[in-house]
Amino acid sequence: MYTQSMDTMAREGGDNAPRVMEDAALQARFDERIDAGGFIEAKDWMPQDYRKTLIRQISQHAHSEIVGMLPEGNWVTRAPTLKRKSILLAKIQDEGGHGLYLYAAAETLGVSRDELLAALHSGKAKYSSIFNYPTLNWADVGVIGWLVDGAAIMNQVPLCRCSYAPYARAMIRVCREESFHQRQGYDALLVMMEQGTDAQRAMVQDAVNRWWWPCLMMFGPHDGDSTHSAQSMRWGIKRISNDDLRQKFVDATVQQAQVLGVTMPDPDLRWNEERQHHDFGKIDWDEFWRVVGGDGACNRERLAMRVKAWDDGAWVRDAASAYATKQAARLADAQAAQRQAEQHLQAA
């Protein structure tokens, strides 16, 4: 009687049936944990699509951090004072560090860093659209801190509660550092606005005019056009939608702009009493998709710089792996000698 169920299993899935049942049980446990707002660790079972989505998002995020070093890197040699230069250097190094935490988090999902970087270098993997815009004057550096890092924080604070624990843990430190980045940018702009010349104030307004719309695009397409949002929200990877984060960013930034004394380049930007939010104008999604597709002002230059950095670093990777091979051979020799000595002792 008890074996009747085996007949049914064979009809349903042949020899795979026990495996299917095991997967169903694992899936149920995973769903239960996600529904309860819990976390998934690297060693836990997870559905393949969850793993794939995380590898995609975390690696794109890592690529954004290291490509994001380039626009500001342009200004290290032209920073106006030693203080600003030290701050900028520290910030750019932080972004490199963020890339490393994030590549490490992606690696816990079973993908190698070499694979991820190959995807970036071939143009297959995406990185944030924002880093394909040029930094034309010193105010751009301040505006990247204030607006680009500001948008990044808005998007990344909810990621500290992402259901994949290694990503969530990495984001805690990233957000703390991004907060310093945002403040230093705002401070640099405040000094230009309060103590600068008319030409310097005009420079700040010009930088705001060029960066405002691309910053709103950073949050990704409208929720209705977002390929991954619904599933990622169900899995607790994303906690707040693209549009809601964009709205929070606009609401937070308008007041900061007033204190700074700049205006946003949007005639439709105004407080809506009924919604208790700011309304804002239409985003140029054609421009967004053109930049994401590789045809922005700096896409080719950014990618070429990353590929060059990778090629220039070949000797470091070669030296490190030659050293590791030598160390492994030394260790194997030492272990063999030890075994031999022990055998001699036992024989004596």
CB 281 within 8 A of CB 267: yes
Smallest separation (angstroms) from ligand FAQ to the CB of 277 = 19
Q: How far apart are CA 235 and CA 163, in angstroms?
A: 7
Q: Report which of 29, 40, 188, 20 is spatially closest to residue 105, judged by C-alpha positions.
A: 40
- Residue with Cβ nearer ligand FAQ (162 or 193): 162
Residue 79 or 201: the one with the smaller Cβ distance to ligand FAQ is: 79
Q: How far apart are CB 267 and ligand FAQ at their closest, in Å?
A: 24
Give the shortest CB-114-to-ligand FAQ separation in angstroms.
20
Of 54 and 193, CB closest to ligand FAQ: 54
Alpha-carbon distance of 211 to 208, in angstroms, equals 5
In the complex, least distance from residue 213 CB atom to ligand FAQ, rounded to whole angstroms = 12
Output 17 or 226, the one with its CB closest to ligand FAQ.
226
Smallest separation (angstroms) from ligand FAQ to the CB of 198 = 28
Q: In angstroms, what CA-CA distances link 295 with 224, 292, 299?
A: 24, 7, 6
Cβ-proximal residues to 221 (8 Å cutoff; 6+ apart), any chain: 242, 285, 288
Q: How far are the Cα atoms of 33, 67, 70, 133, 222 from residue 309, in angstroms, in the given order?
A: 42, 11, 11, 20, 35
CB 154 within 8 A of CB 239: no
* Complex with ligand FAQ: residue 229 or 253, whichever CB lies closer: 229
Q: Of the two residues 214 and 260, which places its CB atom closer to ligand FAQ in the complex?
A: 214
Residue nearest to ligand FAQ (CB): 68
Please give the residue ranges that form the binding site for ligand FAQ (CB under 6 A). Answer: 56-57, 60-61, 64-65, 68, 95, 126, 128-129, 144, 148-149, 152, 155, 217-221, 226-229, 232, 238, 242, 292
Distance of closest approach, residue 119 Cβ to ligand FAQ, in angstroms: 11
Q: Are 173 and 160 in contact (CB under 8 A)?
A: no
Nearest to 63 by CA among 112, 108, 105, 102: 102
